[in-house]
Amino acid sequence: MVPKGNRTTSAAGAAACLSAPERRGGMMEAGSMELATEAARLFVSDTGRATLTSSEPNSFHIDYALAAKEYAGIILPSASGLEEALPENFELAFEVRGSASLCRFECKFVTDKGGGVWWMLDSTFPLESTWREVRFRRRHFVYAWGASQHFLKDAQQLELVLTALEPEDGFLELRNITLRAMPSARVDPESVAIAVSSGEQTASALLSDDVDRQWQSDNGEEQFVTLSFPLTVELGAVLVRWGENPAEAFDLELQQLDGTWRRAERVEGFRGGTSFHYLPDGEATALRLRLFRRARGSSYSIRGIECKPADYAASWNAFLAQIALENRRGLFPRYLLREQSYWTVVADNGSTQKALLNEEGQLELGYELPSVEPFLIVGKELLTWDEADCSQRLSNGFLPLPVVRRSYEQVTLTVTSWMDTTEDGEQCHATYEVRNTSVAPLEGRLCLAIRPYQVNPPWQFLNIVGGFQPLKKLVFLRDPAGHRYAALEDRARLVSIAEPERCMTSHFWGGDVVQVLEDSSGDETLPLLKERIEDERGMCSGAFTYSFSLEPGESVQYQLVATYGPEGIPLLDGAASRRRVQQRWQALLEPIQFSVAAFPELEDTVRSQVAYILVNRHGAAIQPGTRSYRRTWIRDGAMTSSALLQLGFTDEVRDFIEWFGPAIGEDGAVPCVVDANGADTTPEHDSHGEYLFLVSEYYRYTGDTSMVERELPRLLAVARHIASLSSTTTGANFPSHVRGLLPKSISHEGYAAGPAYSYWDDVWAHRGLLGLAHALVECGFDTEAREVSKMLQDVEQVVTDSVRAAMQIHQISFIPGAADLGDFDATSTTIGADPSRLLLDAFPEAFRATFERYWELFRTRKRRFAGSERYTPYEWRVVGSLIRLGEIERAHEALTFFMQHRRPAGWKHWGEVVWAREREPAFIGDAPHGWVASDFLRAVQSLVAYQDNSRTIIGAGLTFDCWAQGVRCELRTPVGLLGIRSVRVDETRVEIALQGAPGEYMLSIPERCLLHQLTEADQAPAETAQGVSAAASDCCSKLADAGSERILRRVVPPFRGHIMSLDML
């Protein structure tokens, strides 16, 4: 705020000014939206129990019995029942009491038909037995999901929801729910009155835009400055720009509507410059600075005071971003400048601790822990990430030991991190190598700053809010072995292996430790600061600093080790730990052979995706991520397990099945999600089929009959639950295109805005029952197999009838995502080709039409991929569908496009969302994202080989040029290992060698190619008059029978290998 005019009063005049009655209310007339409290209705999760009673108007009592993650609440529609406009600024107020010991409370404004949701979410809402008034303003509501409208303009209903975080039988009461308009949140600078204790002649400088002017007090130690507003205002923050003589200690106070003052903030130890004051509840008629101790000089001086509106700092993260913008670029994390900063995970195989390392070298030590960020002081200049050319890679190209290199003009800084697990616990290691790349000796300092920031950016809002991570206490100590370490609130220890030059701390008012380093970077020695600090705001920061002197080409390495919990554990030798971890991962990943020379990045990317899937696990639990998606979805787990099985990782899948199984209900209901709080009760009806697929696929690849025997009661319960659910939609009152389908659900969360009859659910049910029926037959459970086969036939008939009817009703030529919506969702339709073939076989023309339409959209997006365009890399599944449709060139084009969006490319992974603008400050899910990884693995394996019922299709995604450049792959099939090799013989001939176990194999022959020769590797071919072996002649006859499919079909007995040649015509 930079006012052009204002009023100045003396201290005596201030009292009269502050009691002016016109400033005490300031309410505006209500906006157009009114709540119909008399029409309130109860809603509760499917398996929860709740009742709603109301003894008087606008008063509601809910009795509930909820398991963990179940919810209950009320819906209050608008007075008209339609979408109505909300005021520019409003207040939602109500009184609440209840019995929940721990719950999550949500207030949600929902637009028409759930098209958009804005919420205020409090994950630890305190409920008490006595009434408590709660008030929320517009600024408290943030966009959640739905329509792409990111400003809350109108709504159709208000939802007030309680979610139990642990099993709870209790009550919730709400009363006096009101929605009213409020005055503008902004201060009119022309109407602010100033009162000062002294220095009246310079007081106007407090609200002046003249930077050369400042208010100067007299020499008294205690002084005050008061700003009075004509109406109640809603402040988000206040900035005080101090002159040469700042206050070292002062209070900021706000006057309430009743005329009383409350202290909003006490400041101690301020260094000078600008003091930033965050005011999350900054409603006031006036503000006052009470100054009581000088930092220097004999008086106080202030250059200006800026009153910022609520939207200036709607959250602590937004407030910190404003501070970052006023500092030199590079001193704060990139994301505080509203730029995306990408990251990867640092974890061991299934470890409980998961650190994050971002592309600039900032290391977040663990979940809800602060981070360490490196800085260099060289030539009296503090070097940050902004001055560096930052590059990223994985150790050996694919091991999950990420590396960041910062390259400067004279020096490089290389950060390498890994997690090691021993019987004593988990330890996160980080090494910092400084190398002199100049031609002259180099002296400087490495500063490893401990700061209250996550690597996870603020826009990562799901299940955890990224950005600021409070650190209220930081203490530097020495362990029994003599190592200096930082104790982080008894949650972790960060140990320096080398003796640091300094251990230093700072708090918010003393300035972030990096600001202190910046200010002292030109000094010969760093300031001596305290080694212990506390800050109620959670803004403690500190640093280890090290001096170095390097000749040209020389390097020096420093190491930090994080251990977890209040007690230290024996430290591992860093070099030995790194070797051991690398060898462990090398042994796991190097046996994976997947080289297609036409796509040289595939092999390392395949290996790295397997590593990311394993490190994302929490013990046996397969999780798609480590922050936003730190939970286990059976959907992700089943498809990820399928990808692992194809690469030979069977133990991990077995462990996952045994871990997940007990979460399934006695009635066979499979929860969509399981986490530390138990099973999520949100119905997503794809989950039942996915569990059956998981177990049967494990059996198909391992032949482990004992697993089927152990799980049989649970498997049958799940199958019967599918039948029971489907029976609820068989009545004559259900339209033909939804009759007999599984009930509406939010499915794969694609219908979170409103449940639908999603084919994703029913196709998964079909695939799961199909796999179970086969497993039961092979394991000798004939009676049960007949029962499941009947269910399978019923589901197949229902789905095919429904798709046919839905296409006719909606007048569409493609297969819809949901029967009732007739919507286009090719990415979900992919499961109709893999892992199921139901839709591809039953509706080949419609399936092809679906992906013709997809391809048009893909090409359009590819041409215009810019600005705010985005997509989800779940589209990797489309590559598999295109291969099965014979669209090899399209599959290759899509593959190349998706591979471009590994961010950063050196870490070889994807988030859940890819934005066209690389620095777009927007949600990307988790990175690396495990479900995306599994979609990638299954898609690219389809290039070389995929399962089609009992057959293995080889080379369906490979052109002659792909074979000619070289293929070297080993894949697991249900009958055993399959080895595939190719080598170019000359310009028109390629030799292909296959080796595997008995089974049915089909070789897809590229266009314009002819099978030239086929021999057993261990015997000479029997030449025919045409120069083709008898075996090859037999295969050619079967090729002719196959018509235009151009496939070589052969039932292969046990063999050591087949060698074939393809000739280009």
Structural domain ending residue among the three candidates 181, 197, 221: 181
Q: H helices of 703-843, where?
A: 705-727, 759-778, 782-809, 826-829, 838-842
The total of other beta-carbon atoms located within 10 Å of residue 390's CB is 18
Q: Total domain count for the chain?
A: 5
List the one residue out of 554, 557, 558 whose CA is nearest residue 544.
558
Structural domain ending residue among the three candidates 133, 152, 181: 181
DSSP code string of 523-588: SSS-----SEEE-TTSB-EEEEEEEEEE-TT-EEEEEEEEEESSS--PPPPHHHHHHHHHHHHHHH
Helix (H) or strand (E) holding 635: helix 634-645
* 507 phi/psi in degrees, rounded to 5: -115, -175
If 0-12 CB within 10 Å is exposed, 13-18 middle and 19+ buried, where does residue 168 land?
buried
CB 1021 within 8 A of CB 1013: yes
CA distance 330 to 919: 15
What is the distance between the terminal CA atoms of the chain, rounded to a whole angstrom?
A: 76
Predicted confidence (pLDDT) per residue in 131-184, tens digit = 989 888 887 888 877 765 566 788 889 999 998 878 888 999 999 999 988 766
Any idea what the CATH number is for the domain that residue 398 is in? 2.70.98.40
Helix, strand or coil for residue 329? coil
CA distance 388 to 408: 5
User: Does residue 608 fall inside a structural domain?
Assistant: yes
User: Does residue 596 fall inside a structural domain?
Assistant: yes
Q: Which residues pair with 293 in a beta bridge?
A: 249
User: Does residue 26 fall inside a structural domain?
Assistant: no
Distances in whole angstroms, Cα of residue 939 to Cα of each of 203, 895, 933, 1003, 1040: 70, 9, 10, 18, 29
Tokens read off for 500: 């640091």
**540 and 622: one domain?**
no
**903 and 970: one domain?**
no
Give helix 876-884 / helix 930-944 axis angle, nearest 10°. 20
Structural domain ending residue among the three candidates 586, 618, 642: 586
The total of other beta-carbon atoms located within 10 Å of residue 48's CB is 19
List the one residue out of 1057, 1062, 863 whose CA is nearest residue 962.
1062
Sheet containing 103-110: order of strands? 41-44, 71-77, 157-164, 103-110, 116-125, 142-146
**522 and 575: one domain?**
yes
Any idea what the CATH number is for the domain that residue 769 is in? 1.50.10.10
pLDDT of the residue at 1021 = 34
List, for the chain, all residue ranges whose pLDDT scores fall below the cut of 70. 1-32, 113-115, 122-124, 147-151, 183-189, 1013-1058, 1065
**240 and 151: one domain?**
no
Q: Which residues pair with 505 in a beta bridge?
A: 542
CA distance 854 to 833: 15
Task: Determine the number of helices (DSSP H) and then strands (DSSP E) in the chain.
Answer: 19, 53
Helix, strand or coil for residue 168? strand
**534 and 631: one domain?**
no
HEC string of 127-166?
CCCCCEEEEEEHHHCEEEEECCCCCCCEECEEEEEEEECC
**857 and 933: one domain?**
yes
pLDDT of the residue at 551 = 97
CA distance 750 to 763: 15
CA distance 164 to 149: 30
User: Does residue 1049 fall inside a structural domain?
Assistant: yes
CB 365 within 8 A of CB 506: no
**940 and 989: one domain?**
no
Domain that includes residue 868, residue range: 591-915+924-944
Where are any strands of DSSP class E within 565-694? 594-596, 632-633, 673-675, 678-679
* 700 phi/psi in degrees, rounded to 5: -60, -35
**451 and 368: one domain?**
yes
**290 and 349: one domain?**
no
User: Does residue 8 fall inside a structural domain?
Assistant: no
CA distance 506 to 508: 7
pLDDT of the residue at 91 = 87
Any idea what the CATH number is for the domain that residue 202 is in? 2.60.120.260
User: Does residue 31 fall inside a structural domain?
Assistant: no
Predicted confidence (pLDDT) per residue in 739-767, tens digit = 999 999 999 888 877 899 999 999 999 99
CA distance 437 to 552: 6
Give helix 686-702 / helix 634-645 axis angle, nearest 10°. 20
CA distance 740 to 763: 13
* 976 phi/psi in degrees, rounded to 5: 140, -165
User: Does residue 325 fall inside a structural domain?
Assistant: no
List the one residue out of 957, 1002, 959, 1012 whose CA is nearest residue 978.
1002
**516 and 617: one domain?**
no
Any idea what the CATH number is for the domain that residue 63 is in? 2.60.120.430
List the one residue out of 328, 302, 294, 245 whose CA is nearest residue 519.
328
List the one residue out of 825, 824, 846, 828 whose CA is nearest residue 836.
828
DSSP code string of 807-840: HHHTT-SS--SBTTT----HHHHGGGTTT--HHH
CA distance 415 to 357: 9
Helix (H) or strand (E) holding 969: strand 967-973
User: Does residue 1029 fall inside a structural domain?
Assistant: yes
**344 and 472: one domain?**
yes
**559 and 681: one domain?**
no
